[in-house]
Amino acid sequence: MVRIEKRPGENEAQMFRRFRKRVMRSQLLSTVRKKRWFVSKGEQRRIDQKKGIQRAQKRQRKNNRRY
């Protein structure tokens, strides 16, 4: 849980901006989104392999454009 306290002389907008930054750094929202639905270990492994292949293909395309 992310918790902040109001600093002296700080208005609500500044406090809210600081809160949002801290939430993004803690990766709280991405964790909640991932845990929203159950994904089996086998399915997660297939997803990770597919993402790895996509990253490799992207790297290869990027390297081919340079030459």
Q: What is the pLDDT of residues 25-64, one digit of tens each?
A: 999 888 898 889 999 999 999 999 999 999 999 999 998 8
Whether pTM > 0.75 for this model: the answer is no
HSE-up of residue 56 (Cα within 13 Å, Cβ side):
6
Q: From CA 23, how far away is CA 47, in angstroms rounded?
A: 26
The first and second tokens of residue 22, run together, are: 């801290």
Would the pLDDT of 1 be above 90?
no
Q: Is residue 19 within 8 Å of 3, Cβ to Cβ? A: no
Q: Could you tell me if residue 9 is left (phi over 0), alpha (psi between -120 and 50 degrees) or otherwise beta? A: left
